[in-house]
Amino acid sequence: MKITPSSSYAHLSSQDAVAILDSSYGIAGSVDFLPSERDQNFKVTTEGKDQFVLKIASPFEKERLVDFQDEVLNFLIQGKFPFSIPTPVPDKNGNNIVRFKNQSGQERLIRLVSYIEGERLSEVAHKDGKLIRSLGKSVASLHQTLTTFDEEIPERDGFAWDLTNASKVISANLDYIDNVDQKHLLEKICENLETDIQPILQELPSSLLHNDANDHNILVGPPSAEGRNVLGILDFGDMIYGPSIYDLAISSAYAQMRSNDPLSIITTLVQAYNEVQPLSAAELEVLFPLICARLAVSVSLSATHTHENNTDPYLTVSQQDAWESLHSLGKIHSRLARDLLRDSCGYPPCPNNVKICNWLETHKSDFGPLVKHPLNDCLVFDLSAESSSLPGLDTLTDVDQVTKLLFDKMDDSKSEVGIGRYAEPRLLYASNLYVKTEGDFPERRTIHLGLDLFLPAESPISAPLDGRVHSFKNNDLNLDYGPTIILEHSSEGIRFFSLYGHLSSESLDGLRIGDLVKKGQEFCSLGHYPINGNWPPHLHFQLITDLLDMEGTFPGVAFPSQKDTWLSLSPSPLLMLDLPSDSQFSPTLSVENIQAQREKYLAPSLSLSYKNPLHIVRGWRQNLITDEGQSYLDCVNNVSHIGHCHPEVLKASATQMSLLNTNTRYLNRNITKYCRRLISTLPDPLSVCFLVNSGSEANELAFRMAHAKTGREDLIVVNGGYHGNTGATVAASSYKFEGPGGKGPGPSVFPVIAPDDYQGPFLRDDPKRGERYAQEVKLALKASHDSGTGPSLFICESLLSCGGQIVLPPGYLKAAYKFVREAGGICIADEVQVGFGRVGSHFWGFQTQDVVPDIVTMGKPMGNGHPIGAVVTTPEIAQAFNNGMEYFNTFGGNPVSCSIGIAVLDIIEQANLQAHALEIGNYLLAQLNDLLTRHEQIGDIRGLGLFIGIEIVSNKQEKTPRRDLAKYIVERMKDHGILLSTDGPKDNVIKIKPPLVFDKTDAMRLIQALERILVEDFVVT
Ligand SMILES: Cc1ncc(COP(=O)(O)O)c(C=O)c1O
């Protein structure tokens, strides 16, 4: 077969183009060269700024085909698409085609079409989900309209870009591929096309095709926080008549290029296409191989061009990317890709699954036991991400400990066998073997695809039905299967496999491929650790409907994002074995269900973080873990100060809870010990404690004390400040009363401007800025005096939190406290956010300002998640408050809370968390400051210890707050598995305030992710 040369330029000069525009179209304008494979294209800009594209057809193009393009475009523009296509512009005489003869007398066919604004998809760095879905839907709707065009397309014999010719094009050019691996890859694609794909293609529905929805021909809209849209589809010069699936294959082939997760781009695109134009199972069968085929054609033709010394960059532009794609797609088994695509289109993922499952169900009574003991009433373990019976995550891989725990439980329940559930999401797979390397999110394989039977090592295992040894292998990496056997079973036209993992090494001795294993035959035995992959002794038994050509191994756990596909490849062992019905995991409530119930039963004024909220079921150190066992790095929870679920807190709480929990009207050692410990961290004369249940309650009580001491009611508060959710504290919180739903300050509240030395009137380069901001406090004190009684108190967070992670400028509190005290007021330091060592250099935030407040309020980190708060004050103020009215608090100061509080103080001290906060905080600040120098949108980095803010702005000059960008960054960081949040008066400050166990590796991970996001299109444009 002769392959039509796909490229050849009919070079016209810019002067020719200008002359044609003038003479044929009556258009005066300038022209710029536009890249193209065969046509020669000029972008035309008229004096009135109208834009067109002048297209000079290749001299090899048949005239009828050139004409046909205009006919199709004129037909399409009558359709209703959410995107644009080029509109043909006739010449002065109404002709679609203009003929032009160059100086050597060669004739060129020329057309003019409208110009479509937009960025080429090939230039988009971050292809977001919305864009890919928009592309899928656009290609589908273009396809649907093209099918209604009833004119026949002229023949294009041997057209190289017709995928029907792909195997011929690839083989014809194989000689130009020098690299052996690359050549082998192309040969494999060719073979697959010829043997498996072409016979199916003939049966598929055909239609007129665009045939070139490559990423240079797709125009997309500007980046936005929500994602982009397709604006236009160009270049109808490659149209053919062929199987409709080609257009989807071509757009998928190019859309996934340069992505770090090609398969997820392809499945998203296909799913969106299918929503508009449903795909058949046969089309999905050929889709993935066709995607590879298109890339293979592209690299083959490019190799030819290179061989012919054709240096036009357009012809080889995406070759490196295409090769990289071919290599990464080549690693994916095409039947796995097919099954994932089937799943995304609502088909049962593995086509064999239904037949095999039906067969298993109807033959259930024929199968023999796996082990000697009956299984139907034995102990079923909960090994899920939510299991409360598992130890802390860092001891999960302590095989001695976990083995003892499980086998003790079996002993306790007098169960000979313990069952580990099928389809269960687990945290047990702690090695890097289980982490996804593609994509933003470090997804872990957590979904268990088999059934576990926990039994003593060396227990014999029998075959439940006849089978032949398909393969066996010692998968000897830590936390892998260890010695493994796969049996093949075939009966009545059904073929499936069973896998036996974590065996003894003797089980593989003398085994041969093809050996017959009879039902009931004890053909292997359980291994001990470490030989069995270093697990507690157990059998991993798994059914497999399609082995995907693997030998001696097959994944036993799957990524949650591919769960349905893998569960279809590995159906439930309950189909074969007589097991307790709860041997198969099923979630009690879906995430959607929980959300719906939340909306129904909870107050609407509660908010949820993130566009797609997370269902977190577990915390561990600085990690939050979802129901599917996926871990997120928690960079915002300053409540879990010493790390989520700290074992010492757990111990303190459980021990005291088992003894006594009551109010403070009895003598108890915990409360005195705790108050003594707390007071020892504070300077004199702060020596009297009140224990409460929250930060709000602490502030509310502090206000009462100040009012009692001063006999006045007026409050001086700082703009952006937040002090709690009770009536009095909301009234004192400018963050609330100036925010949505707020009614401004009440008559006794005097707000002062926030001492913000980045956005405020006095900037960081002013050494006197602290005192200047404090002058504002002086003015407010005067206003309070002038309007009535004078001030009762001044409350200020030691570093502003909701106000935008602001570090108070040097000298601020010192001057402000002086003015307040001179005016007879009480100085309250709100340490609810920042106390207990977070700022690194000091235990309390106010100490960084070299002041001693009259009252300190505390909360959040005190109980590491247990609700405790405190007010510590001077004996004098405490006495003034002691006016005869008892202060009673049902829960405040109870023995359990105090016991937890003591444990938290112990750990801060023993683990040196304050010094750690300083070291890691300084490291993080240095790294962030480095990012600041390179990224225009980072206006400011500020913070102390592990209390840090990143202010996101339009640019360093104007400093306009960019809330949308800050929100976008936070959402994208979540995509990378990192949790942050925004705050500040303009909600444009990203807050970093992780549990103090956050370490240098976490800091580096945060910086790397941030760095990647900061160059995404939406951020930089
Ligand atoms: C500075 C500050 N003070 C007080 C509070 C109120 O504490 P709680 O929510 O424990 O009542 C908060 C809570 O965010 C806070 O940030």
pLDDT in tens, 873-932: 999 999 999 999 999 999 999 999 999 999 999 999 999 999 999 999 999 999 999 999
Can you give the pTM of this predicted structure? 0.94
| Cβ(424) – ligand 1 distance below 6 Å | no
Residue 923 confidence (pLDDT): 98
Residue 3 confidence (pLDDT): 44
The share of the chain scoring above pLDDT 90, in percent, equals: 86
| Cβ(857) – ligand 1 distance below 6 Å | no
Dump the DSSP string for 169-221. Answer: HHHHHGGG---HHHHHHHHHHHHHIIIIIHHHHTTS-EEEE-----TTSEEE-
pLDDT in tens, 681-712: 999 999 999 999 999 999 999 999 999 999 99
| Cβ(803) – ligand 1 distance below 6 Å | no
Q: Taking 70 as the threshold, does the pLDDT of residue 314 lie above it?
A: no
Minimum CA distance residue for ligand 1 atom 4: 723
Residue 8 confidence (pLDDT): 47
pLDDT in tens, 621-665: 999 999 999 999 999 999 999 999 999 999 999 999 999 999 999
Contact at 8 Å (CB) between 215 and 235? no
Minimum CA distance residue for ligand 1 atom 11: 696
Q: Which of 693, 703, 832, 981 to mutate to test the pocket of ligand 1 (most atoms within 8 A of CB)?
A: 832
Residue 423 confidence (pLDDT): 98
| Cβ(393) – ligand 1 distance below 6 Å | no
| Cβ(703) – ligand 1 distance below 6 Å | no
- Between the CA of 896 and the centroid of ligand 1 the distance, in Å, is 22
Q: Taking 80 as the threshold, does the pLDDT of residue 306 lie above it?
A: no
| Cβ(564) – ligand 1 distance below 6 Å | no
| Cβ(277) – ligand 1 distance below 6 Å | no
Rounded Cα distance between 248 and 91, Å, is 34
| Cβ(724) – ligand 1 distance below 6 Å | yes
C-alpha closest to that of 624 among 611, 612, 613, 637: 637
Q: Which of 860, 897, 947, 983 to mutate to test the pocket of ligand 1 (most atoms within 8 A of CB)?
A: 860
Residue 6 confidence (pLDDT): 44
Which of the residue ranges 56-65, 433-442, 834-843, 1012-1021 has the most confident prediction, judged by mean pLDDT?
A: 834-843
Mean pLDDT of 98-119: 86
Rounded Cα distance between 892 and 663, Å, is 7
CA 5, chain centre distance (Å): 45
In the DSSP assignment, the letter for residue 536 is: S
Rounded Cα distance between 171 and 192, Å, is 12
| Cβ(866) – ligand 1 distance below 6 Å | no
Please provide the size of the chain in residues.
Answer: 1021
- Whether omega for the bond prior to residue 555 falls within 30 degrees of 0, making it cis, is no
Which is the closest atom of ligand 1 to the Cα of 721? 1
Residue 312 confidence (pLDDT): 62
Mean pLDDT of 835-857: 98
Q: Which of 696, 868, 983 to mutate to test the pocket of ligand 1 (most atoms within 8 A of CB)?
A: 696
Residue 781 confidence (pLDDT): 98
Which is the closest atom of ligand 1 to the Cα of 860? 10
- Count the helix, strand and coil residues of the chain and give each as a percent rounded to the nearest 5: 40, 20, 40
| Cβ(832) – ligand 1 distance below 6 Å | yes
| Cβ(830) – ligand 1 distance below 6 Å | yes
Burial degree of 11 (CB within 10 A; 0-12, 13-18, 19+)? exposed
pLDDT in tens, 472-493: 999 999 999 999 999 999 999 9
Q: Taking 80 as the threshold, does the pLDDT of residue 784 lie above it?
A: yes
Per-chain mean pLDDT for the chain = 94
Mean pLDDT of 979-992: 97
- Between the CA of 696 and the centroid of ligand 1 the distance, in Å, is 6
Q: Taking 60 as the threshold, does the pLDDT of residue 397 lie above it?
A: yes
- Between the CA of 987 and the centroid of ligand 1 the distance, in Å, is 18
Q: Which of 719, 828, 831, 833 to mutate to test the pocket of ligand 1 (most atoms within 8 A of CB)?
A: 833
Query: How large is the C-alpha radius of gyration of the chain?
Result: 35
Mean pLDDT of 947-962: 97
Residue 893 confidence (pLDDT): 97
Q: Which of 722, 799, 864 to mutate to test the pocket of ligand 1 (most atoms within 8 A of CB)?
A: 722
